[in-house]
Amino acid sequence: MDGLTYRPCVGVMLVNAEGRVFVGRRIDNREGDFWQMPQGGVDPGEDLRAAALRELAEETGLTPDKVSIIGRMEEPIRYDLPEELMGKLWGGRYRGQEQVWFCARFTGEDADVRLDAHDPPEFCDWKWVEPEQLPELIVPFKKRVYRAVVEAFGALA
């Protein structure tokens, strides 16, 4: 891991009118029943808010007219990949991710969600969950991140 940097990334905690949070099951993780919020890499020079809206659209099919950004964490959160994934993700260039998280209010209808909006899709299924469930649903090495996101945005949900 020496010399490896963190991949710039954004994440979105998408909250519906009932205060529940969108999670998707990754299409490429068949080893467990893990669910995650939309997230992804930031392109060089890309505005973070724009990156969050782009990633949300790619992973859920939701256009900016169906969401409203209502919060942003002040500080990014870093996590390291576990040993078994080191060198396998992102061309082996990163030790983990540095994520800037946004909270967005969903203003559309469930029928607006289209997991096939991007080719290839990242999620094979989705659902709404209570915010406090999030740390139990994510892969173990991201639990600390999800606890921080819930703590930061809990009142907004």
> Under CATH, what is the fold of the domain 5-153?
Nucleoside Triphosphate Pyrophosphohydrolase (3.90.79)
pTM, two decimal places? 0.93
Is residue 30's pLDDT more than 70?
no
Q: Which three-class secondary structure string do you get for the chain?
A: CCCCEEEEEEEEEEECCCCCEEEEEECCCCCCCCEECCEEECCCCCCHHHHHHHHHHHHHCCCHHHEEEEEECCCCEEEECCHHHCCCCHHHCEEEEEEEEEEEEECCCHHHCCHHHCCCCCEEEEEEECHHHHHHHCCHHHHHHHHHHHHHHCCCC
| Mean pLDDT on 76-98 | 85
Locate the domains of the chain by residue range. Answer: 5-153
In this predicted model, what pLDDT tens digit does every residue of 44-60 receive, in sequence order? 999 999 999 999 999 99
